[in-house]
Structure 1
Amino acid sequence: MNHRTTRTLAAALSLTAALAISGCSSDSSDSSDSSGADGAKPELTVSGAFMPEPVNAEMAGAFMVIKNGSKTADKLTGVTSPLSDDLQIHETKNQKMQQVQSMDVPANGELKLTRGGNHVMFMGLKSKPAVGDKITVELRFEKADPVKVEVDVKERTYNAQNSNAH
């Protein structure tokens, strides 16, 4: 009876594996469909969020890394904060900054918002933050739930690449 149970279990596992494999997409691209086997939303985490101290209250940039630990791709679609009513997502291409409606957060990957690259732009600040302040922002995504982030205000010369060991 023990041998029969082992064979039955092995057959059940083989059938489960076959069903799982047949449920996979037949194309070679990563699936960006949010209707995974369990319908799970992307798992997003944020690290290294900072804002260099702004020169004036007209504008400021924020930088961070958004990691996606799931098999479901997502998009950053908006940012809100009490510091400004006008937050924009900017990409930098050919050394030119332009506003975009969204940015991809790849499955099992990350979206890096860095100095000289893609970033969040605060326009028309309600107040001028100083070094040591913390700014609250809420990141909004196409599929994942919003993520609240504390952004540290750093010296104007701060460079995150020199302090990535968090």
Structure 2
Amino acid sequence: MRGRAKGAAVAAGALTGALLLTGCGSSGSGSGSGADAGAGSGSGRAALSVASAYMPQPVSDMAAGFLTIANAGGAKDELTSVTSDIAGSVTVHQTQGGAMREVAALPVPAHGRVVFRSGGNHLMFEQLKRRPKQGENVTVTLHFARSGTLEVRMPVKAATYNPATGH
């Protein structure tokens, strides 16, 4: 390899290693998405919304996704699956005690929230059909046990994006 190509390969390898070391993730929560699901905030229903959704620009055929799911309702719900036309599969990963594992469902407590961030819970987009570029949006459908589906537009940010600084 020569000069620029070698530098790009080293950067891609370093980023891939960093993603694996942080539980397949990148950085915490970022720009918002105004998606909502459920009906009202009554005591017996889930009222879901999504904020801070983003995907760091992928450097391989895999990508991570981050967001926050809030439940203003009086009933718990569960995120049972995630789909996107950009990936062969999207899996939900939970991190507890520093250990990451794929889960079939993730609880969303009543009057609570679930945060997907670097080193914690996150989405893994596998078998990408194409690599989305910074500035594009990826459409993701969240499937819930009680509330049905919720479609979210996830902006693609720089691979080095850090929501704490906005870069």
Normalised TM-score (structure 1): 0.71
Superposition deviation, residue 93 in structure 1: 2.7
Is 1:43 matched up with 2:52? no
From 76, 84, 91, the equivalent of 1:81 is 84
Match of 2:123 in 1: 120
Determine which structure has the larger strand proportion and give its number. 2
- The residue type equivalent to 2:47 in the other structure is E
Q: Over alpha carbons, which structure has the higher Rg?
A: 1
- The 4+ residue runs of structure 1 with deviation greater than 4 A are none
Match of 1:129 in 2: 132
Identity of aligned residues (%): 37
1:126–1:93: structure 2 CA closer, same or farther, 3 Å change rule? same
Per-residue CA distance 1:30-83 (angstroms, 9 max, x = gap): xxxxxxxx7953110000100001111x21010000000101011111000001
Match of 2:160 in 1: 157
1:147 is paired with a residue whose SS is strand
Distance 2:158 2:87 in 1: 20
Superposition deviation, residue 115 in structure 1: 1.1
Match of 2:96 in 1: 93
**Unpaired runs of at least 5, structure 1:** 1-37
Match of 1:54 in 2: 58
Q: Is the 8 A contact 1:134 1:151 kept in 2?
A: yes
Aligned pairs, number = 125
1:85 is paired with a residue whose SS is strand
